[in-house]
């Protein structure tokens, strides 16, 4: 599947979700058995761990459709990069969608310079450059920081080897999107 078609499928599923017209396809025992010998997910979703943003539900997809990586603040690290590379190289997935969302808690903590405990500092340190980029922008700093974090992660991914090669070879597209907590709609932002 081409990345454009994969993105269309995601956005069509999100429209069904927003319109309360979900079909819950690929969630049966038949599907479970059909994919038991192999998987060909059509998109990687790098999303936040936030309980309100579960990719299979908000894109109305099922078993074997999405290769989902979730971490607070939808940041990158080497283990996440390796997971993405695996999906592209071994499973042939043509699209990575970096999915941020409104009022992300860990982005908010970074904006506020909140004192954070333990390993939460790893997340805050990863998000700080996005907050710095957002500061001069007009408007709400948290909204802008969420958007800047999505843009930054997309740019980091596109600059990372071998993902940058996959993109150059037209095997992969990387896009950024934001989830609206009020109406469930997803908007492509990067
Ligand atoms: Zn979040």
Mean model confidence pLDDT for the chain: 97
116 pLDDT band, cuts 50/70/90, is confident
Q: How far is the CA of 2 from the centre of ligand 1 (A)?
A: 29
Q: How far is the CA of 47 from the centre of ligand 1 (A)?
A: 8
Give the model's pLDDT for residue 1. Answer: 86
114 pLDDT band, cuts 50/70/90, is confident
Q: How far is the CA of 108 from the centre of ligand 1 (A)?
A: 9
Q: What is the C-alpha to C-alpha distance for residues 71 and 9, in angstroms, rounded to an integer?
A: 23
**Region for 98 from its dihedrals, namely left if φ exceeds 0, alpha if ψ lies in -120 to 50, beta otherwise:** beta
Sheet order of strands, 173-179 included? 66-70, 43-47, 95-101, 173-179, 186-188
The pTM is what? 0.97
Average pLDDT over residues 2-14: 97
Q: How far is the CA of 37 from the centre of ligand 1 (A)?
A: 33
Q: How far is the CA of 36 from the centre of ligand 1 (A)?
A: 32
Q: 154: which 2 tokens?
A: 């997309």
CATH superfamily of 3-101+156-188: Carbonic anhydrase (3.40.1050.10)
pLDDT exceeds 90 at position 115: no
Give the model's pLDDT for residue 151. Answer: 98
Residue 30 makes CB contacts below 8 A (sequence gap 6+) with: none
Give the model's pLDDT for residue 182. Answer: 97
Q: How far is the CA of 76 from the centre of ligand 1 (A)?
A: 14
């Amino acid at each position: 599947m081409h990345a454009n078609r994969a993105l269309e499928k995601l956005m069509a599923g999100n429209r069904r979700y927003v319109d309360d017209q979900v079909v819950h396809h690929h969630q049966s025992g038949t599907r479970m058995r059909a994919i038991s010998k192999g998987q060909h997910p059509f998109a990687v979703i790098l999303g936040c761990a936030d309980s309100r943003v579960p990719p299979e539900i908000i894109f109305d997809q099922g078993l074997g459709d999405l290769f989902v990586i979730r971490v607070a603040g939808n940041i990158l690290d080497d283990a996440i990069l390796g997971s993405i590379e695996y999906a592209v190289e071994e499973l042939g997935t043509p699209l990575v969608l970096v999915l941020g969302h409104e009022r992300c808690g860990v982005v908010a903590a970074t904006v506020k310079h909140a004192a954070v405990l333990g390993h939460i500092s790893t997340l805050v340190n990863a998000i700080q450059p996005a907050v710095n980029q957002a500061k001069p922008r007009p408007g709400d700093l948290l909204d802008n920081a969420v958007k800047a974090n999505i843009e930054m992660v997309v740019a980091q991914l596109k600059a990372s080897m071998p993902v940058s090669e996959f993109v150059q070879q037209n095997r992969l597209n990387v896009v950024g999107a934001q989830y609206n907590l009020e109406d469930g709609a997803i908007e492509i932002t990067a």
